[in-house]
A = this chain, B = another copy of it.
Amino acid sequence: MTERLVVVGGDAAGMSAATNARRGRGPDELAIVAFERGTTPSYSACGIPYWIGGVVADRERLVVRTPAEFAEKHDIEVRVRHEVIDIDCHRGDLTVRDLETGAEREEPFDQLVIATGAVPRRPELRGADAEGILGVQTLDDGEAIRLELERKPTNVVVVGAGYIGLEMAEALTLRGFEVTLLERSPQPMPTLDPDMGALVSDALRKVGVTVECGVEVRGFDVSGRRVSAIETANASYPADLVILGLGVTPNVGLARDAGVAIGPSGGIATDGRMRTDVENVWAAGDCVESHHRVSHRPVSIALGTHANKQGRVAGINIGGGYATFPGVIGTAVTKVCSAEVARTGLSEREAADAGFVTVSAVIDSRTRAGYYPGSTPLKVKAIAERSTGRLLGAQIVGEEGVAKRIDVFATAIWNEMTAEEMLNLDLSYAPPVAPTWDPVLVAAKKVAEKVESDRGPVASAP
């Protein structure tokens, strides 16, 4: 008998689940249909700032695959502009609304993947619904922002200096607009430690962005229906276009209403195989919470890489195989014009919150041997547990091309290496690509020395 897999949400997680399930079970065994309320399945949300900035020429370049391709190559039916509005896990069916006609119908499922993604946080403040205040999440959001820019706004304000906020500030600067960036925390990128965050401020100011940190938005002034200014405790910032970069929240309403358990961080709770607490109901992507391998706490981190991997895991399992998603460690990277910023593991503050006592080291190095031309400077911070020397986190700020070095820390932290173990890693060296001691090893060495000196002298072995 043919089973029926229904996927709710046709982006990275949902479509990875669908294609991987198909790989395990052919169309005779498993029918697969995905409902997507937007106009496009499988697009790159992370690419939207670059499309707005004009770095990526057109919207179609962000579309990974069309419904026709899924049908032809994978025998997967994708129905766009179809919104799932109710799930009945007990009966094994759901209600779908055709957003073109308004018609609603019931659809049965044997297996269900919930991949409803995340929604941008919107402040519950006076005037927040005014025209000219826009989030950045879907391709349609991107289209709306592009239209706004054609009106040539004179005062563009980005609220929130996380990844999307920074990328939007870059995009709008590239397009020639004067940009003000407001952030509640004392620094941009609150997931960095303050010392590294200050370097990001410098990079933003260097390209002409007005950066105002420690600023809490109180409300929006509206003129006609349109935003005219942003009010904070101490000032008013004129604004005829406001971009919200306040992060996202897992989109779990549908799952919650269906009786699926939501975890403490606000995402759908799953086990390692991406099963929810309801039989035959799976979840993956920005709507789920993940296990943080360093803090050992559940976290909701919206990121395409996790969505792809979780979708793959769910799909393999639905397809009859066995796979698990082992969790995350909070790796992230962004580029602000010629600056790159990356982090992994825990920041000092996050480590303290998780109960660790830490030591940290910040080092200055360069990307190549000192004598080899074309090297660029970078700053690397390494954070270790004071009592054991175990690496807990790392941050890198520098110029173009430096950020990928964070992946060595990510791999070392994933494997619970100590700083002393890491400094002996056999990493690649040649004068055009690294100093003899790669910057990441210098940072590990420096923090290992601090751990060692805190510990006091060790008797030498006989």
Contacts and interface: CB of A to CB of B under 8 A. Distances in A.
Interface string A263-281: 0000000000100000000
A427 interface: yes
Contacts of A335: 430, 432-433
Interface of A: 12, 44, 46-47, 50, 55-56, 61-62, 163, 167, 273, 303-306, 308-309, 317, 320-323, 325-335, 340, 342, 344, 369-373, 401, 403-408, 410-412, 414-415, 417, 420-421, 423-434, 436-438, 440, 452, 457-461
A409 B427 CA distance: 9
5 contacts: A44-B431, A46-B436, A47-B431, A333-B428, A334-B430
Contact of A408 (B56, B305, B408, B430): B408
B410 A425 contact: yes
Contacts of A417: 415
B305 A437 contact: yes
A421 to B, nearest CB: 7
A47 B372 contact: yes
A331 B430 CA distance: 11
Contacts of A61: 370-371
Contacts of A373: 55-56
How many copies of the chain does the oligomer comprise? 2
Contacts of A412: 411, 415
B372 A428 contact: no
A427 B407 contact: yes
A414 B431 contact: no
B411 A415 contact: yes
Centre residue among A320, A407, A433, A452 by max chain B CB count within 10 A: A407
A163 to B, nearest CB: 8
Centre residue among A12, A342, A427 by max chain B CB count within 10 A: A427
B436 A330 contact: no
Nearest to A12: B436
A420 B371 CA distance: 40
A340 B429 CA distance: 12
For the complex of A and B, 6 pairs with smallest distance between CB atoms: A333-B428, A61-B371, A411-B411, A415-B415, A335-B432, A331-B426
Contacts of A423: 309
Nearest to A414: B425
Given A47-B371, A305-B427, A407 B457 contact: no
A417 B432 CA distance: 29
A450 B323 CA distance: 15
A28 to B, nearest CB: 17
A322 B427 contact: no
Nearest to A434: B404
Nearest to A55: B373
A333 to B, nearest CB: 4
Contacts of A306: 426
